[in-house]
Chain A
Amino acid sequence: MQPFAFITVTGEQAARQAAAYPDARYLAGGTTLIDLMKLNVERPSTVVDINAVPLAAISELPDGTVRVGAMVRNSDMAHHPLVRDRYPLISQAILAGASGQIRNMATTAGNLLQRTRCYYFRDTTMRCNKREPGTGCAAIDGYNRIHAVLGTSEHCIATHPSDLCVALAAVDATVRVVGSKGARAVPFGEFHVLPDERPERETALEPGELIVAVDLPPLPFARRSVYVKVRDRASYAFALASAAVALDLSGGVIRQARVALGGIATRPWRAHEAELLLEGREASVEMYRQAADAALAAAIPRRHNAFKIELARRTLVRALSRAEALS
């Protein structure tokens, strides 16, 4: 860990001012940031503790949007009635992640900004374009069982590890941020960006911008939704593959579908191709398989992760079947 300045702030304004120091980082739950600082992967000059900034509320807006504050703990979000009842896939996704202790610390914004678990990213003795642009990617020809098959580039194949974000992608959440240019709303689908040639850039966030909330739009059929996660052990492990699914079913026909995948892509992966295939069709396992094939059509396997393609297909079929079975 490198020496750093530590500043505690109580308001948004102060937070953004403090974050103007070069290489400053906000500290929320710290479950990503502190780990990476210990590994010397993150070396901020200044750490701005935002735990006292009042951003920990969950509220309903007049139009039915549910606003989740940036500092809401993951556990509180998962168990909040507005989230649990209206967006089961979100609750389930959170509770399938990490451990109880970590979820009690982890925050909404922190979860969106968690970094990849790529071994090479986390080890400063190895080459990594994301950590040190231009040094190369040690994972592409290395041990890459946990790496991505969708959204990869020749510069980075790191998996985005979040569970919550997969569900947020499915419901078309909006990320509310404030920065030196004022407040703006970033659609979830534009929040995380593909690695392409610049894997060091992971989100649309500008330096110093503060996430204040995540908005969940009204989506009545999300009551029929599930999150299915497959991992190496029963709990406390990152997804090898996961699927967040919501179905609007009527008389056995799929009117609308929301499909997103996790554990297999460089960012939370909304599968529009699958949705298009499903919409207007009769619900059946055969349809789900076709949708799964469409979702994974562009997948590129590497030496150790080819199994993830088939696993993701099956995970998606399972999620769709389970969602259908809900009343």
Chain B
Amino acid sequence: MIGAAIDRLDGRQKVTGRATYSAEWPIERLSYGVIVQSAIAKGTIAAMDVSAAEQAPGVLAVITAGNAPKLPQGGQAGVNPPAGRALTLLQDTRVRYNGEPIAVVIAESFEQATHAASLLRVNYHEEQPAVDIMQALPTAEPYTKKILGQFEPFSRRGDVDAGLRDAAVVVEATYTTPLETHNAMEPHSTIAVWERDQLTLYDATQYVYGVKRFVAKTLGLRDDQVRVVSKFTGGAFGSKGSAWSHVVLAAMAARHVGRPVKIVLSRRQMFGPVGGRPYTVQRLRVGARHDGTLTAIDQDVVSSTSTFEDWVESSTLQTRMLYAAPNVATAQRLVRLNLGTPTFNRGPGESSGTFGLESAIDELAWRLGVDPIELRLRNYASVDPETGLPWSSKSLRECYERGAERFEWSRRTPAPRSMRDGDHLIGLGMATATYPAKRMPASAAATLTADGAILVEAATHEFGTGTYTVMTQIAADALGVPIDRVRFELGDSNLPDNPISAGSMTVSSTGPAVHAAAVALRERIRQAGADPSDVESCRRIIAAAAGAPLSATAAAAPGAEKARYSMHAFGAVFAEVRVDPELGELRVARVVGAYAAGRILNPKTARSQMIGGIIYGLSMALFEHTAIDPRNGRYLNADLSEYLVPVNADVGDIDVLLLDETDEHVNPLGVKGLGEIGTTGVAAAVANAVYHASGVRVRDLPITIDQLLAGSDR
């Protein structure tokens, strides 16, 4: 059962429209909230005229800083970064970014609320905002707290300056990644329903328990007064990992009008108020001897954050552990801009950080005249070079080898512009992919019901990754029953507590809990004298107990392995690009990704994850960038016509190899997580291929026609 390539159990439900997403719950007496946003990036609201809006047809209320209920601690009671965010809850008249919520209009229909929202008249005292990362760079300050509460904000091993002096070749370059906006297909949406002092939120989220606790704290409620339901989320990528302003505003609005309120963000409203990947400016210095042995790596990363919350894109973490260089220093600094607070975005840190690091390693390979794979192998880290800990498992060497073989890396002629197909230049490039194997405490329940079916429950999440399917597989496997006897329920804070579905750790956290609950139930069934795989015997014991279902719960948590092993998934990603040298048009014709990420529970859902991750990486490489007005921080390309992501025609052949890897230490299931590693390395592989094709080194994402044109001849 485990390891079987079974179809998604919820596939039919989704493609036939029967999966209920958060905005789709049929709720009686529902009213509709629309958020009004600021039109300046910095200042205060001097005056707001809501009279026209209030008088518009269908309007139930207009909530502004003037009439919003005062929340505990000015609305900051739940703030507990990184999951508990500093929000905008109409507690004051300050404006800190363009598009910040300044009012909510509630009406009988969405159309009426939208229309009324356009009737608000706002006057501002406008101040000069800081919105340009390059201009603001001199104001960067070292980040001093732990990143995500876990990692040091800087690192130092050996003596980098000495290492650079020892180097025969030093690559020194600055790489930048732009502001990226997740743009999950499903817009963020929340329905808030009060029944007396009980609040139910139907919310598009990656963390039902997180939202529950955060909203309770923020509103001054007890935890048990809030329930969060999220059966299906239509893509998230990190943007739904925290409760953003609209979630709390929906609850406030519902209380204000005494009716359930639904708030669905428009596409435009997803630019700014619900996070995004921040800008990064990464200065790298990498030194090596003639033989390719690294002597030093120095990476200084400045990332942007808002003016009201420090959020760090941890782009230095992979640099500390990827290569066996004796001297490595990294630092994270922050620049505060008048933009929305950034957040986790698929492979936060590693996706942007591998662009810098793996581009610089490629530049070094050119300078040394060493094959890029060979250079990486010469500096292969056989233990974690930062901590000295052994790896729980590491098959990166095999990933390089198998990937190169599948990709036919040997076809590559080393010189730039040396490979052609007709008028097109062909380039082959590669990079390393890596992402930590994380785990958090989780719990689950398993219940044998009267009809012999088994219900397994855990408050985890399904946002397209296949959670329903693999959890069912894990439980069925542990019970020794066929898949169709197990039903898995998730996405409800009335179910057993589970962590955020992020950091590629759903399977590694919830999986062991589900496994343990299923094993416990199996034993209880056996003790009751039945055989779990024999439905009739199962029905008999329930009947004998007068229909009372038999259940078991279990918790699972990481143990001492973290102190003993360094645990990461690894991969190698290869890209073939075609460049039209005259027009600057670039197409990625082929990607091969070879990954080793522990045990693969379902090769089909795993492969889909990897393909999705790689396309996300292509999107970073080629298209994504949130355009900001240089004067007032307005989000300019805030729709899917102008914010480009790949269409099918942009996605060439993608070939995913999932290597066998046994890891006895990482967690009881031996899985490392696949959600994010696919995105890491891709942008560097493409940029490296572009250099091979055209001789143009692009250090600023995305790689666009303008840049290729500027670097080419006529």
Contact = CB atoms under 8 A, between A and B. Distances in A.
Interface string B474-515: 000000000000000000000000000000000000000000
Given A40-B118, A119-B636, A314-B582, A307 B644 contact: no
B583 to A, nearest CB: 5
A230 B585 contact: yes
Interface string B426-455: 000000000000000000000000000000
B706 A234 contact: no
B39 A125 contact: yes
Contact of B583 (A3, A99, A142, A311): A311
A297 B629 CA distance: 29
Contacts of B630: 142-143
A162 interface: no
A23 B57 CA distance: 22
B587 interface: yes
Given A142-B631, A233-B623, A314 B115 contact: no
Interface in A221-241: 230, 232-237, 240
A73 B115 CA distance: 31
A107 interface: no
A307 B587 CA distance: 19
A236 B647 contact: yes
B1 interface: no
A240 to B, nearest CB: 6
Nearest to B645: A233
B622 A233 contact: yes
A1 interface: yes
Interface string B644-681: 10111110000000000000000000000000000000
A125 B634 contact: yes
A34 B611 CA distance: 35
B49 interface: no
A123 interface: yes
Interface string A94-123: 000001000000000000000001011001
B705 A307 contact: yes
A2 interface: yes
Given A117-B641, A314-B582, A233 B647 contact: yes
Given A310-B709, A314-B582, A318-B583, A232 B704 contact: yes
A1 B627 contact: no
B382 interface: no
B118 A232 contact: no
A315 interface: yes
B82 interface: no
A126 interface: yes
* A interface secondary structure, majority: loop
A240 B649 contact: no
A153 to B, nearest CB: 21
Nearest to A230: B583
B279 to A, nearest CB: 15
Contacts of A240: 705
Contacts, number: 79
The size bracket of the interface on A is: 20 to 34
A217 B517 CA distance: 77
B267 to A, nearest CB: 10
A240 B704 CA distance: 11
B270 to A, nearest CB: 15
Contacts of A120: 636
Contacts of A315: 583
B706 A307 contact: yes
Contacts of B634: 123, 125-126
B582 A233 contact: no
A307 B710 contact: yes
Contacts of B709: 307, 310-311
Interface string A147-180: 0000000000000000000000000000000000
Nearest to A123: B634
Interface string B615-642: 0000000110001111100101100011
B111 interface: yes
A2 B111 CA distance: 9
Contacts of A232: 623, 644, 704-705
A288 to B, nearest CB: 12
Contacts of B39: 125
A240 B115 CA distance: 34
Contacts of B582: 314, 317-318
Interface in A176-197: none
Contact of B642 (A2, A117, A125, A230): A117
Given A3-B57, A119-B637, A141-B631, 9 more contacts: A1-B111, A1-B114, A117-B642, A119-B636, A232-B704, A233-B647, A234-B647, A234-B649, A310-B714
23 contacts: A1-B115, A2-B115, A3-B57, A40-B118, A117-B641, A119-B636, A119-B637, A126-B629, A126-B634, A141-B631, A142-B631, A143-B628, A143-B630, A230-B583, A232-B705, A234-B647, A236-B649, A237-B644, A310-B709, A310-B714, A311-B584, A314-B714, A318-B582
Nearest first, the 10 A-B pairs at minimum CB distance are A234-B649, A125-B39, A235-B649, A119-B636, A307-B706, A234-B650, A236-B647, A314-B582, A235-B647, A233-B650
